[in-house]
Amino acid sequence: MESRQNTTFDGGHGYLATPPSGSGPGLIVIQEWWGLTDHIADVTDRFARAGFVALAPDLFGGRVAHDPAEAAKMAGELPAARGVELLSGAVDHLLARDDVTGDRAGAVGFCMGGGFVLLLAAREGERIGAAVPFYGVVPGPLPDFRGLKAKVLGHFGDRDASVPAEARAELAAAIERGAGITPEFHVYPADHAFFNDQRPVYDADSAALAWDRTLEFLRTELA
């Protein structure tokens, strides 16, 4: 795997894809712990084809992991505060673009990136209008969600040992307690990383359903 980058913003680099129409709502796409891989670039392209100006920031500075041990090491070397700072810079860049409609962006992320979706939304307040964590793993303790203003749509696998039912319930309660927002969580008959078609645990039916729900949610909340 190689890292994919084609754009630079204040404080970082990333992969940007724009819609055929030439403009659309802004969307931050946040990588898994593998890095900014071809898979994440492909997902970013898919969002662009669906009408979004999609930007995937590179949280690992061009590095890509090739096995779980390396991925865990790289993820562990990224302080949560630094990751959110990079993502905030990406939001600045996205919302300043002439081809981005509206004054709020969406955020979608996977695994580690799903956790960062929630951290980013809690920091950015009104600037994030829709938050979609796929089997999100929040680094460290759950944050104070009082700053979160976005509606939340979460996707989880019922065989995901990294985000078991009790962890999902704890996360939902923390969001509701802090932000006064009840998140919409969907659970699929699948494992962790079921959306990643480059991994053995990929589940096509669950991925397709989660994708359709995500597009409907983003179009509604970012309209």
| Local confidence pLDDT in tens for the 223 residues of the chain | 556 778 888 879 999 999 999 999 999 999 999 999 999 999 999 999 999 999 999 999 989 998 999 999 999 999 999 999 999 999 999 999 999 999 999 999 999 999 999 999 999 999 999 999 999 988 778 889 999 999 999 999 999 999 999 999 999 999 999 999 999 999 999 999 999 999 999 999 999 999 999 999 999 999 8
Rounded Cα gap, residues 24 and 66, in angstroms: 34
Q: Which residue type does 165 have?
A: A
CB contact at 8 A, 102 and 26: yes
Q: How far is CA 3 from CA 32, 36, 39, 77, in A?
A: 12, 5, 10, 18
pTM for the complete prediction?
Answer: 0.95
Rounded Cα gap, residues 172 and 208, in angstroms: 24
CB contact at 8 A, 92 and 111: no
**Could you give the 3-state DSSP secondary structure of residue 214?**
helix
User: Could you tell me which residues are beta bridge partners of residue 53?
Assistant: 26
Give the total residue count for the chain: 223
